[in-house]
Structure 1
Amino acid sequence: MTRRELDAAGIHDPGLRSAYTWCREVNARHGRTYFLATRMLTPPQRPAIHALYGFARWLDDIVDEPEPGATPQSVAARLSEVEDRFLGDLSTGTSDDPLLTAVIDTATRFDLEEKLFRAFFTSMRMDLSVTDYATRQDLDVYVHGSAEVIGLQVLPVLGAVSSRDEAAPRAAALGKAFQLTNFLRDVAEDFQRGRVYLPADELKEHGVDRDRLSWCAEHGRADASVRAAIRDQIARTRRVYAEARPGIAMLHPVSRPCVATAAALYGRILDRIERADHDVFVRRAKVPRSRRLAVACGALARSQWARRRHPAPPAVVG
């Protein structure tokens, strides 16, 4: 399947093929929901999506899974080194680093703006020093670079029937909705890393602070105040999904089933949290594999129907 996708996308250079294959493997291992959704895309579209996800995952791992003995200072230095190397190679359109080759090729093919990548590096750097967000506005700065820009990066790959400027705010909102869902799913895990990605002022409305979260982590369960705060955060996140949803219809028809599938599966994570009475400390909310496959099967049928009726968006632009 990898060979078919690369051939369809016109990627023939052996080094490029190896780089794209690595990105695909990263997506398959770590991005189960995203990877399943990419099966709805046409083969020429998939390598670019894998490259963008693989790059984001790699940078995230530099920060969250540092090498033994690493310090925040050494991780920051490593991140700056990667950023300088990447931006320099991006300006020339080529790289001899196998881990950067695929994403630079994708950025060149789809005319992705440098500022989208700079913003991502900025948010990754924030994770090294920022552990709490006082307000929603403060969190939005982080989310723009960590998630909204991902939606903007993949938009040209997906194609749109409207102008990119019209579709862009919806694409950014969907990236934001996915990230906010991750924050809710991973409250306990993030707290163990010393981070709280829920706005402190909104938690305070329900009497929740770090001490209360610490009690929940120690006891392995959320109390009534934390459950109320999570209920409120889910409602806020669903409003972001509602803002993003009209953007699906703005996409090229062959791309809509993929994005609709990802949105449906991520929305079900919120359903699972609600089903657990908003207790994000007792267990990590997951959508069962059977449910993921059921949603994907219906979407696959719709994607095949769309491909028969519509030509795919171009694999190369610009």
Structure 2
Amino acid sequence: MIENNKIYDANSVDQFIRSRVKRSGSSFFWAMRLMSPQKRNAIYSVYAFCREVDDIADGNAKEFQKRNKLSNWRTEIESIYQAKPNTLLGQSLMPAVNSYKLVKQDFMDLLDGMEMDIGNSLQIPDLPELWIYCDRVACSVGRLSNSIFELDRETGNKLAKSLGTALQLTNILRDVHEDYTRGHIYLPNSLLIEHGINPNKINIDID
């Protein structure tokens, strides 16, 4: 993230978030296009932010570099809520924050989740920690999205919790082998031990 305090024109902002979302190759891009222009731009901006921080967590930079980049985004989120964004992506998020009353803590929760992922190894110790992880990396995104969809906060939070957790658990189960090879075990140690599995000796045959 480059901080430059430059004010970009609306067309540049729109082109940036559209290209960022389209470049991700996600099928969400086409679904988002069906939304009204204001909602579409808002959800594009949130999605672009999610991709940005996820790419940091999954990238090849050293751990301290990743932490620095995520720290910069914490600063940028604070700046957005002070109406002083320093980046093009930050500027694109500000109308969404203002129009749909996006909650700052939801952005911070997502960044907390990304920080859990950036080390060379990760072992989730128990179910409560797994629920925290799911809330941070998935449910937080649901809460932001549901605000843009203009669901009332209570209904939106319940939906984000159930759907976000379900989707994240699906991702974890799908990627058990791949995650294990990079030192990340999201299945709780306590649950593995309960079922007679040594968390340090998981051997998965995917053939």
Q: TM-score, normalised by structure 2?
A: 0.83
Q: Alpha-carbon deviations, 1:167-191, whole Å to 9, x = none?
A: 3212232122222222222222222
User: Which residue pairs with 1:114 in the alignment?
Assistant: 104
Q: Secondary structure at the match of 2:36?
A: coil
2:43 is the alignment partner of 1:49: yes
2:160 is the alignment partner of 1:171: yes
Q: Measure how far apart 1:138 and its partner are.
A: 0.7
Amino acid across the alignment from 2:115:
R
Note the 1:167-316 alignment, pairs <5 A. Answer: 167-213=156-202, 215-216=203-204, 221=205, 281-282=206-207
User: Which residue pairs with 2:4 in the alignment?
Assistant: none
1:127 to 103, 107, 117: 117
Note the 1:6-85 alignment, pairs <5 A. Answer: 15-30=9-24, 32-66=26-60, 70-85=61-76
The separation in 2 between residues aligned to 1:28 and 1:186, in whole angstroms, is 24
The separation in 2 between residues aligned to 1:49 and 1:94, in whole angstroms, is 20
CA contact (8 A) 2:13 2:91 kept: yes
Q: Secondary structure at the match of 2:122?
A: coil
The separation in 2 between residues aligned to 1:31 and 1:205, in whole angstroms, is 40
CA contact (8 A) 1:16 1:101 kept: no
Q: Measure how far apart 1:39 and its partner are.
A: 4.1
The separation in 2 between residues aligned to 1:134 and 1:190, in whole angstroms, is 16
Amino acid across the alignment from 2:55:
D
The separation in 2 between residues aligned to 1:170 and 1:207, in whole angstroms, is 34
The gaps in structure 1 that reach 5 residues or longer are 1-12, 222-280, 283-318
The separation in 2 between residues aligned to 1:31 and 1:175, in whole angstroms, is 21
The separation in 1 between residues aligned to 2:53 and 2:22, in whole angstroms, is 17
Q: Secondary structure at the match of 1:198?
A: coil
Q: Alpha-carbon deviations, 1:143-197, whole Å to 9, x = none?
A: 211111111101121123xx32233212232122222222222222222321111
Q: Measure how far apart 1:48 and its partner are.
A: 1.2
Whichever of the two has the greater Rg, that structure is 1
User: Which residue pairs with 1:105 in the alignment?
Assistant: 95
CA pair 125-92 structure 1, distance change in 2 beyond 3 A:
same
CA pair 23-185 structure 1, distance change in 2 beyond 3 A:
farther
The separation in 2 between residues aligned to 1:54 and 1:40, in whole angstroms, is 17
CA contact (8 A) 1:48 1:103 kept: yes
CA contact (8 A) 1:20 1:51 kept: no
CA contact (8 A) 1:133 1:197 kept: yes
List 4+ stretches of structure 1 deviating above 6 A: none
Amino acid across the alignment from 2:178:
E
The separation in 1 between residues aligned to 2:189 and 2:35, in whole angstroms, is 39
2:147 is the alignment partner of 1:156: yes
Report the aligned-residue RMSD.
2.4
Q: Measure how far apart 1:92 and its partner are.
A: 1.9
2:135 is the alignment partner of 1:144: yes
Query: How many residues get paired?
Result: 200
User: Which residue pairs with 2:3 in the alignment?
Assistant: none
Q: Alpha-carbon deviations, 1:186-244, whole Å to 9, x = none?
A: 2222223211112222233433334443x32xxxx2xxxxxxxxxxxxxxxxxxxxxxx
User: Which residue pairs with 1:8 in the alignment?
Assistant: none
CA pair 210-149 structure 1, distance change in 2 beyond 3 A:
same
The separation in 1 between residues aligned to 2:198 and 2:25, in whole angstroms, is 31
CA contact (8 A) 1:134 1:201 kept: yes
Q: Measure how far apart 1:61 and its partner are.
A: 0.8
The gaps in structure 2 that reach 5 residues or longer are 1-6
Q: Secondary structure at the match of 2:185?
A: coil
